[in-house]
Amino acid sequence: MGGEENKSDSENEGGGRKKKKVLTTRFDLPKESELRVECKLNRFFHVAVVPNSGTCEIFGSEIGSSSSSALSSSGGVSSSVGGTNTTKKKLGGGKWAFFTYSGCTIELEETNQTNATNANSKIHLTTKKTSGEGAGGEDFGDDTGTRNEDSDDDLEKSGDEEDKDKEEEQAIEIAYVSEETPMVSYLNVHGVLEAKRKKARDCSSALVSSDDAVNEMEKEEEEEDTKKKRKRGEIVEGEEQQEEKENDGVRQKSSAGPRVLIVGPADVGKSSLSKILINYAARQAWSPLFIDLDLGQNAISVPGTISAAPIDHPINPFEDGAHVKSEMPLSYFFGDVTVTENSKEHYKFLVEKIAEMMEARNSKNEHARHSGCIVNTMGWIEGLGLELILHAVKSLEIDTVLCLGQERLFQTLSKQFAKDAALAQQQQQKNKKNKKKTSSSDDDGKKVDAAVEILSLKKSGGVVERTTEFRRKTRDDRFREYFYGFDFVSNPLSPVAQSAFFSSVSFYKVGGGAKAPTSALPIGQEASTDPMRVASVIPSMSLVNAIVAVSHGKTQSDLLTSNVAGFIHIVEVDMHAKRFTYLSPNPGQLPNTNLIVGNVKWFPEN
């Protein structure tokens, strides 16, 4: 299970002072264990599963070299859509976990540029062995891999110098095997969601069969009865259409798949769990909708947005990295990576727009309705953050909440959902007693008869707390990937720098600044600033380095309700010439001249 290292031949560069070394490390993974790898940002490594040693998965997407699926034989998820068999694939900087249900052997390969004076240095790789939960992160084995290097200078360095050289040369900071993993519990959650999807599909089939079984005699009797009621004036114009619409709504809700919301504090693995559940569903031929409400670390679009994307095939981390690539993403530009009291109404409004688009999709696509949705959230769980979570549960009509990594949040939400369920039951009883006063608007079209189910899950032991600097760098990398592609080092995309006059476009911003408190205003007067107001922006030097959204909205009034076509990065502003230079993913004219400005900026490193 320990790491065994081999080094390929070195290539001398720069008069023999530099060497390019390829370091290969092999790990034997036992059953139901995972290999955790932490790679430096802006660096890359290769991973391969040794032929015929088994299979493993990354974010629930299967990789391996054997012809048969080891997962299905060991109680894992069988791949009806197909896995990603690979011999050698490239991954970028970040934290990765390779899990296996039946055991396999994995090889990691990294290419390093180092000084030729790094003689007799050692790379220490640890193997983590734990026999139960709560063992902590300090229980490391003492397995080490040793690399011997031939160099022109046969020098021995002190421990401090050796560590310094090691830090400079390694792309992989640490790699270890752990048998303490929550993946089995995540698989159990997938089993519960899979049962709900099948139940929704079977329910829909039963409803169709029931409708087809209605005989012609019953139809004729209903038509005759309707005619009589019309003559007596008992049917109001449009009542039949309203009743049919309500019946369709009941059918759709009864045949809806699971709607899952993942909550928890920062750095507990919410994004990873959401991608695991999405991939498991896609491998079973479902097409769930992935919704990411995390402004700072959005997996579908750039930071500062909330987005949704239908997933009909497993996410390929070797092409998309840790992000979700979709041909039809739906993104709304919030314009900031945090929510304040002044901007919370804007955030809630965008969540409701996502909910509207999901309902429109489900009403036209039966398979999508059965597949359900997976929703990732921010790591803000107190105060306003908790308010936003509860709003998302209501707006998206969530029926299952997965609480990851904190018991306090689990208890808080459990009490709230129990209270909501009791109030809903009281409302239903009241409606039954007052049928004449009850209308479709009383419950606002929401499903009030089903309580929200909440499950508590443990976070993975491989999840570590990210620093503020690390978060900033990952956001910068996300912008870089948007314009230059995932593999922006060896296979970059080609964004285009273009110029435009201020007069050729229109800049707007949602919100009119800080909203004055009521106590600061004269008696009886309300705050005049509308946080939902779309205001024009006068071009200035403050636009430099701004990430600007290109809206689909044709008019100023459409900008608030319209999703975005894409983003540009303003790199230069010339106030004298009244023009600006921007970086665009594609050449040619912008799809729209209405641009939305926020507080999101990107400062590329030279």
Residues belonging to the binding site for ATP are 34, 95, 267-272
Task: Report d(CA 455, CA 417) in Å as an integer.
Answer: 12
Sign of the C-alpha dihedral, residues 367, 372, 374, 375?
A: positive
Task: Report d(CA 93, CA 72) in Å as an integer.
Answer: 30
Give the helix, strand, coil percentages of the chain, each rounded to 5. 30, 25, 40
Candidates 248, 243, 199, 250; CA nearest to 222 is 243
- Binding-site residues, in ranges, read 34, 95, 267-272
Cα dihedral: 166, 171, 174, 177 (round 10): -130
Task: Report d(CA 62, CA 77) in Å as an integer.
Answer: 9
* Helix (H) or strand (E) run with residue 427 in it: helix 407-433
Candidates 343, 330, 371; CA nearest to 201 is 371
DSSP-based three-state secondary structure for 248: helix
Angle separating helix axes 239-254 and 183-212, nearest 10 degrees: 140
Please give the full DSSP string across 54-78, using - where no structure is assigned. -EEEETTEEEES-SS-HHHHTTS--
Q: Please provide the size of the chain in residues.
A: 606
CA distances (Å), 37 to each of 8, 262, 278, 476, 548, in order? 21, 24, 22, 21, 35
